Chains A and B, each alone.
Chain A
Amino acid sequence: MIEEPTLEQLRTGDAAAYAKIYEAYRSSFIGFARKYELSEDQILEVYQDSVVKLYENVMSGKLSTLTSTLKTYLFSIGKFKIYEHLRYSQKRITRDELDFQGEAFEQPDFEETPLSEWQVSLRKHFETLGTRCKMLLTCFYLKGMSLKDIQEAEQYENINTVKAAKSRCMKQLKEKMIP
């Protein structure tokens, strides 16, 4: 067991923190997943996708409070993914076998939802913005930094300058979306 980072720390999106979690629980996840008909590669892929899902849920605010340890949460995602994987490959497995005792099985938070066409296009156009805009929008919308934090970190004159810059960047993005 490692000293787990807090949600607040994870909320900054620091990849190193997620890599640390990945390494810390890797062997115990493999041990756990070996019970099922999965190859080592498949197990690793499920595990990687689970850590990525953890990242997504933290960053999107879906995981805003932890009722268990991070490890438990991560393993619930993993279990869900193993179940999905086995179901997809048409192997018979019951939920009991996967040891979902007492856990609600419908877990929409663990499902993968692909981006809509609009979002894909947004992602593409975002890349064409200037560095400063990309940085600003990333700080605000992805890393959850407040305008005040951004003002300090990015050395804007004051909060109003950040606000103005942010709406300019959003305007640019919108214009790219709807020319």
Chain B
Amino acid sequence: MNREELVERYFTGRLSEDEARQLNDALQKDAAFAEEFELEKDLQAALIDKDKTALKSKLVSLEAEKFPKDQKSSNLKWWRYAAAAILIIGLSLFGALFMGDQSTPEELYAANFEPYRNIIAPVVRGENTEGLLEKSFALYERGDYNQAEQDFSTLYEATGDRYLLFYRGNALLALGRTEEAITIFKSHQETQDNFYYKSRWYLALAYLKMDKKSEAVSILEEIVTNNSYNADKAEDLLKELEY
């Protein structure tokens, strides 16, 4: 068996004892080969580490979603992980597990989704809702999408301000509650406010997440045609989706 095959068997976890000895011999005899192999092992360690971070975030979100009662006493740590979850899920390789020849729609979603930034709370000073509005956007910024989502819903019922639907949709997406997010974005898009085109973009992403490629594509094409929000990203996505 040649070196290349030994290395391959090492990384696929199929090295027999005898082959392990052969590999060791080769490594001892050839410094350049040993150096190359070290690099490969370092890369493996780096990739595992990256996924560990992603898995931890996933477990933290899973805990928060499925066992919410136990989360009542949770502290700042939870925010940190939830925020990290959103960042990391974007880069996470887990999407890559559902592999095809191309990036899957879900991977594309993960690579592109980032909750729309808060441009509301710093400028808005409502009267009777001041407390809750500020609080909800602070939660949103900190990555507590669960509580933020509930507050946006309450606020929307109280005020009817439609931009709240847009942010609520974002929070739902961040929470992985994609179907609900789709409903909310659609309802937001019944009228065209300042967030309309942004809302279209997020709806397209939500469809990607649900693996509804044709729905996603038709919105992305519309975004490109109108040259509206994130038109360049939409164009890239279409390319990736081979349209």
Contacts and interface: CB of A to CB of B under 8 A. Distances in A.
B97 A14 contact: yes
Contacts of B121: none
B48 A142 contact: yes
A145 B93 CA distance: 15
A22 B59 contact: yes
Interface of B: 4, 8, 11-13, 39-40, 42-52, 54-56, 58-60, 62-63, 66-67, 70, 73-75, 77, 91, 93-94, 96-97, 99-101, 103
Interface of A: 11-15, 18-19, 22-23, 26, 39-41, 44-45, 48-49, 51-52, 55-56, 59-61, 64, 115-116, 118-120, 122-123, 126-127, 131, 135, 137-147, 153-155, 163, 170, 173-174
A59 B48 contact: yes
Contact of B55 (A11, A40, A51, A143): A51
A160 B125 CA distance: 64
Contacts of B47: 123, 126, 137-138, 141-142
B55 A131 contact: no
Interface-central residue, B40, B47, B103, by most chain A CB under 10 Å: B47
Given A120-B46, A141-B47, A41 B77 contact: yes
Contacts of B42: 116, 118-119, 122
Contact of B12 (A15, A138, A146): A146
A26 to B, nearest CB: 7
Nearest to B49: A115
Nearest to A30: B70
B59 A173 contact: no
Contacts of B63: 44, 48
Given A13-B97, A19-B62, A52-B59, A41 B52 contact: no
B56 A119 contact: no
B55 A115 contact: no
B51 A55 contact: yes
A48 B4 CA distance: 37
Given A60-B45, A141-B47, A143-B97, 6 more contacts: A18-B59, A40-B73, A52-B52, A142-B93, A145-B12, A153-B99
